[in-house]
Chain A
Amino acid sequence: MAKIRGQASFFDGLMFLFIVIFSVSLVFLTLNTYAVAQDKVLRTAYLSNYLESSAKMVYYLDVATLQNVKSYCKDTELSIESATSYYCKPQYDLDCSILNKYKGRISISDLVKKDLDSSDDSNPLSNFDDKYGSSEQYGRTAARCAMKEVMKPFTFSGYRYITEFGDASSASDVIVHPQDEKYASDFMFTSTYADMVVKDPTLKSSLDCAKIASDQLLVIRTPFKLLEVDPASQTVKSRNYIMRTCLWPTNDLTVKISS
């Protein structure tokens, strides 16, 4: 009987050890997920504030100071040899040196408004094409150069962005698409974009934030008002434009585009 009693107490000890290990495992499982969600929220808040800062900066930044900004191609050709062919496609060329023709305090938003506006009153929101009527106004180039520089840390760390402008007068935003592939974005350098255009060439000039199907898409939308004074009648007309910037993480293969 005594021998059996000794075995029983040993079994009790083992059971105690087992229960301790089980409880400790549960505590470690809790520890593993503790503060992960909070940390993610704080990091997203940082990204959101970064995008907001970029949007606010557009109102103040003088176009002439962007003349030395390099294209993605020139940024990568010395440091990332394998990326050169990826970022040096001629159809997405970016020449910021043309902005040296602007002297004094002309902000990016001033030029973008000019570019978006039309000299034709019957069709006020014309195109995002570096032109106001027939004169060259490099609003799109200024926006592309500024956003390229500001979003550089994201471009080279697995994120993509699109900055777009549009009319917010109606219930839903009407985005002014560039007629070529020169977006204020780095998305056109992805294989996903190339595949998308091959499948449906009409998407070539209609890419926008609304087509990005990512569950981690971050969007900020900034009002962008244009006031027009009619000298004859002394009346002021206002047009409500928007600037919209989207940011999302991608490995280019997993991101899905809904057409």
Chain B
Amino acid sequence: MLGLKGFIGPIGDDIPSIFPIVAGILIFLTSMLYVDSQFSERNAYLETRSATLQLSYVATDKGFMGDSKFLEKCTEMKLFASKKQLKFATILKKYCGPMVFSKSENLKITKSTKTFGLVSAEVEDMICSSDEKISSTVPKDPLLVEAISIPSKNAILLSYPIAVDCGNSNRGLGLITIAGWRGA
């Protein structure tokens, strides 16, 4: 008996080592699951960003975007986005003067009167989207309108300056904003 002092059986002797082993396995599995989700999330982000950037190349191939050109581009963009499995909204803001670089402002579809010298013209912002609900947005008075809501919090937003049709053959400052997202 004296020789077996502290001996609590062939399994019982290994009980203390089971705790660090179980802890190690748990840490390893949890970390792997977390890391895998992070890798997937980052890959998805990169793919969405890359696809949105490519879509922006389609939209900004010229320095001027007239109304009829925008409608043509809209068809091209829808085709391109469907190939890339990307959902998008493209907004053509016609500032025709000083621009406002704020996300909420650039997602508003407004109509307003622009005056150059003695001549005035009513201009309307334009929108193109793969989402029917967004593309059917009607331009409203700037004071009454709310920014359109992009149905994904992970949407990539890219804005570019572009010359736009400001009525009476004037070409003024505009901003084309491209929002791209997946899922939702």
Contact = CB atoms under 8 A, between A and B. Distances in A.
Contacts, number: 156
B152 to A, nearest CB: 18
A61 B19 CA distance: 72
A17 B64 contact: no
A121 interface: no
A94 interface: no
Looking at chain A, what size class is its interface with the partner chain? 35 or more
A2 to B, nearest CB: 4
B183 interface: no
Chain A contact residues: helix, strand, loop or mixed:
helix
A13 B162 contact: no
A12 B170 CA distance: 80
A224 B86 CA distance: 36
B42 A34 contact: yes
Contacts of B49: 39, 42
A122 to B, nearest CB: 34
B7 A2 contact: yes
Interface of A: 1-3, 5-6, 9-14, 16-17, 19-21, 23-24, 27-28, 31, 34-35, 38-39, 42, 45-46, 49-50, 52-62, 64-70, 100, 103-105, 107, 146, 149-150, 152-153
19 contacts: A6-B16, A13-B17, A16-B24, A21-B24, A23-B28, A31-B38, A35-B45, A38-B46, A46-B53, A49-B53, A49-B60, A53-B63, A60-B171, A61-B163, A65-B170, A66-B173, A107-B171, A152-B99, A153-B101
